[in-house]
Amino acid sequence: MKRLLTTGSIWGLGLLLLAPLAGPLSAAPPASPATAKAALLKAVAFYHGKASAHGGYVYRYSADFSLREAEGIPGPDTIWIQPPGTPAVGLAFLDAYETTGDPACLKAAVDAARALSRTQLSSGGWYYSGGFSSADRQKWLYRRDAQGKLNAGQTGPTGEAGWHLWKVGKHKGDNQTTLDDDVTQSAIRLLVRADKATGFKDEEIHEAAQFALETLLKVQYPAGGWSTNHETYPEAPPSASRYPLKQASFPESWSRTWTKDFTGCYVTNDNLHATAMDALILASQVYKEPKYLEAAKRAGDFLLLAQLPQPQPAWAQQYDENMQPVWSRAFECPAVSGRESQSMMWALLRLAAVTGDKKYLQPIPPAVVYLRKSILPSGKLARFYELETNKPLYFKRGPGGKGHELTYEDDRTASNYGWLWEPELDLIQAAWQRINQGTPVPGFVQSKAPAKLPTDAEVADIVAALDSQGAWTEKEGDRGIMRDANGKKTTPPGGVIYSETFVKNVQTLCAWLGKQR
């Protein structure tokens, strides 16, 4: 499954840079709280009424809704779980409800949450997409039917938990839960927040949230990390005898070519670990259950173990059971990762802010010093740094454009991957200082806290860009192009409507309205 490249690790921790995405800024008339609220409610009503399928959403639509696109071309009864799909849209609806109190916003969020409960797998979580067609309902081991009733007599496969079972599994095509790209974690966050918003009275949403959280606890390793996928419901957590607690270390040697052997059981790639912690912290705040915070603390303890030694005191994308960096995909080698290391530091900062335990702050100063020294002449951080030598690593296409080859050169990199990332070290260091001094960081531990409040001008432009039907439609450049039912690029006459744009603009309006109060 191709992974969506989101923004940096700040996105993965909910510290969103709330910049509007609906085209170039214009000289729009100033917005008032009344006009901003009206635009917000109009946008929610439109998206819920027009873009929804079975309560769920995909990535983009043609303006007339004749075309739908995600990672591939979804059928009319397919929803997307991976952000910015159904959970991201549903969470934006909840932001709108909490900002305005309008019941229509809550209704839209509840519909999205139920779309998730009805595509939850027997393995406890979610795949990248969910289907409501008769073929999908027969193929996938969903826990509920399309109307929300638990499937009687269908419990799905159960068994031992652990990555060693993944290679021999038999249910990758019908029961695969993935934590990749914030899929299951974002679904959990929507269900938990929707559960709270409905006063814990919606039995379907509440049960689905509890089942998913219990699964997340059971697939957590003794060291506190997680794997990317599992396909059976875990009867018990992985055993400490098979997965002992070890401090991270460098391998004596590693292959410079892809091993085609997915031996890494502990994964931080694409903010997997950070978003799992985020879901657990949210659950602990909503349900007041100590077990969720304890699991988040175990996840923090994992990051203490997973920090590599000097001269590279940062983190890798993937580790084996001996806590050594290993290969993942053909363009993800054993290395220190600039992107994931920043994500890990944000996760530790959040945990320290929630628990007050300063041990989670200790890994950050040496990591910041190391990463500052690793900034490239371009001002960016490399995604990969070679173990011990600290040389930036990249991948280019192999002979004939096939496969991938490791290289130190960045001039012919394979496309569609984030090889370079913006440093967030100043923000990280500032947050560390405040938390270390015991100074409150307003909104820091909430999943929707912005890195900066939107300006009046940004809000005015968002309000002005909303069309008469309530859509933010994009027509300029690549943003006006999508694929048709045959996968061919086309330019819809009315433009393209993006879930990503809807989510960010709703968040911006909500943050601004909150500031006005």
- Residue 2 covered by a domain: no
pLDDT digits (tens, 9 = 90+) for 484-497: 999 999 999 999 99
**Res 411 pLDDT > 90:** no
pLDDT at 7 over 50: no
Tell me the pLDDT band of 311, cut-offs 50, 70 and 90. Answer: very high
| Residue 138 belongs to a domain | yes
Let me know if residue 299 belongs to a domain: yes
Q: Which two tokens stand for residue 445?
A: 């531990």
For 392-399, what is the mean pLDDT? Answer: 94
> pLDDT band for position 24 (50/70/90)?
very low
* pLDDT tier at 12, thresholds 50, 70, 90: very low
Give yes or no for residue 436 having a pLDDT over 70.
Answer: yes
CA–CA separation, 130 and 114 (whole Å): 12
Which range, of 95-104, 162-171, 213-222, averages the lowest pLDDT? Answer: 162-171
**CB neighbours of residue 439 within 10 Å:** 9
pLDDT at res. 26:
52
Q: Identify whether 120 is part of a domain.
A: yes
* Whether pLDDT at 18 is above 60: no
Decide if pLDDT at 23 tops 60: no
At 166, which amino acid appears? W
pLDDT at 51: 98
Q: How confident is the model at residue 1 (pLDDT cuts 50, 70, 90)?
A: very low
Residue 139 lies in a domain: yes
Position 52 confidence tier, pLDDT thresholds 50, 70, 90: very high
With 70 as the cut, is the pLDDT of residue 2 above it?
A: no
Q: Which domain CATH number covers 94? A: 1.50.10.20
Q: Is the pLDDT of residue 160 over 80?
A: yes
- Is 272 domain-assigned? yes
Q: Is residue 373 part of a domain?
A: yes
Whole-number pLDDT of residue 450:
40
Residues in the chain: 517
Q: Which of 8-22, 184-198, 232-246, 429-443 has the lowest mean pLDDT?
A: 8-22
65 compared with 158, residue with greater pLDDT = 65
Between helices 86-100 and 499-516, what is the axis angle to 10°? 20
pLDDT score, position 309: 98
Residue 88 is encoded by which pair of tokens?
């991201």
Predicted local distance difference test score (pLDDT) of residue 451: 55
pLDDT in tens, 92-115: 999 999 999 999 999 999 999 999
Residue 4 maps to a domain: no
Q: Which pLDDT score, from 0 to 100, does residue 57 have?
A: 98
pLDDT of residue 295: 98
Q: For residue range 451-504, what is the model confidence (pLDDT) as tens digits?
A: 578 899 999 999 999 999 999 999 999 999 999 999 999 999 999 999 999 999
pLDDT the model gives residue 59: 98
At residue 46 the predicted structure's pLDDT band, cuts being 50, 70 and 90, is very high
Residue with tokens 């004596």: 252
pLDDT at 516: 82
For residue 69, the enclosing domain spans 9-516
pLDDT, the chain, mean? 91
Q: How many domains does the chain have?
A: 1
Q: Which residues contact 314 (CB under 8 A, 6 or more apart)?
A: 307, 308, 336, 337, 338, 341, 344, 367, 370, 371
**pLDDT for the residue 159:** 83
Report how far apart the first and last C-alpha atoms of the chain are (Å, whole number).
Answer: 43
Q: In angstroms, rounded to a whole number, what is the distance separating the alpha carbons of residues 414 and 318?
A: 21
Strand, coil or helix: 357: coil
